[in-house]
Every structure is written in C-alpha cells, then in structure tokens.
Amino acid sequence: MYQPLSDTSAAGGGNDPAVATAVIGSGGAGLAAAWALARSGRPVVLMERCPRAGGHINTRDAGPALGLDHPVPVDTGFIVYNERNYPNLVRLFDAIGTETTASEMSFAVSLSDGTYEYRGSPAGLFVTPRNLIDPGHWRMLRDMHRFNRQARMRPPQPGQSLGGCRAMSAAGWFRASPSPGTA
C-alpha cells in the first residue's frame, strides 16, 4: 500500500541536490517524472530494461507495410487520451510543445472468422444479425450492465490492492457479486 513519506531523506538523498533521483521505467509516467524532476534542478537517472524508451507509448509507421510512400502513424500502445480525463498529460504536452489531434476511440471484436462480432456502440451491439436472437449475447449485455452498475456501488475491500482488483477475472467478479434479488 502507498504511504507518503513525511521525511524525504527516507527516500534516499534527502534534499541534497547532488544526489540523483532514480526513475524506474521509461513509460509515460516515468518519462514525465524524469522530465519534471530534471526541470526542478534534480539530477535524474532513468532506468529502463527494454531496448527502447516509451513503454506503452509506441507509435509505428504503417506506411511502408501498406505500400505507401508517406508515413501513416499508428499507435500500438497508449491509445486512450482525452483532455477531460488527462489534465496533467495535457499540461505536459503543452509544456513540451507536443501537438495533439482530436480523434474518436472505438472498440470492436471479431471472433471465429466473423461468426461473432461486436462493436462498442449502440448499433454495434447487433452488428451480427443473429445477436438479436442469441440468448448468450443478451446475457452478456445484461452482465455488462450489471457489472457497470455494481462496480460503482462496490468499493474495494479494506486492504485490497489495485493489483488484487486487476487480478480478478470478470467471471470471478460475478461469482463474488450477488445477483440482483439474492443479496
């Protein structure tokens, strides 16, 4: 569990400006932390185990693979960004002069060579016409609705870590959550 340090010397180096601060990982958070620390005048050592920096920030040029002579940037990692939910990231982008472009985020699934398809929009719920009469599809929609409703009302258990929440599968969550009318 996270505990804020009341005495920064417990983190190593205290207020000595000659002692570098280690930042572990060069994903978005690590790069932002290293940048902010360096701007404040602290020496920073950025450590990364992978051969490239960026973590989930990974934009690839798909132009050559598509046979095009111009770049087509495709984000394969960090794909969710909007100004309302990421105000600190907006400030970072502004500070380092990074332009952003408004776009729409979408989600789609195609399984078993298209025998089951779903797109994350109202019309996409029934992109496969047989979903209209498929009881399993209707159960999935009911379960999604129930999950969204109950997840807002069910706070994490005392002592439950974020990792513990992530480790629970959807099936485990439903087993641990009473069905409506059974609690």
Number of separate domains in the chain: 2
Q: Domain boundary residue among 96, 115, 136? A: 96
Q: 124 lies in which domain range?
A: 106-156
Residue with tokens 């798909």: 62
Within a domain: 68: yes
Within a domain: 121: yes
Within a domain: 125: yes
Same domain flag for 81 and 110: no
Same domain flag for 81 and 119: no
Same domain flag for 25 and 89: yes
Within a domain: 137: yes
What are the residues whose beta carbons fall under 8 Å from the beta carbon of 55, sequence distance 6 or more?
25, 26, 27, 28, 30, 77, 78
Q: Domain boundary residue among 58, 76, 96? A: 96
Within a domain: 177: no
Within a domain: 161: no
Using alpha carbons, list the distances in angstroms from residue 120 to 42, 77, 136, 147, 166. 45, 19, 17, 16, 22
Same domain flag for 60 and 89: yes
Query: Tens digits of per-residue pLDDT, 82-135?
Result: 888 888 888 888 998 988 888 777 777 888 887 778 787 778 888 888 888 989
Using a pLDDT cut of 70, give the percent of the chain over it: 73
Same domain flag for 64 and 128: no
Same domain flag for 137 and 86: no
Q: What are the phi and psi torsion angles at 67 (to 5°)?
A: 75, 25
**Banded model confidence at residue 75, pLDDT cuts 50, 70, 90:** confident
The sign of the dihedral angle between the CA atoms of 123, 127, 130, 134 is: negative
Q: Is the pTM of this model over 0.85?
A: no
What's the confidence (pLDDT) of residue 2? 34
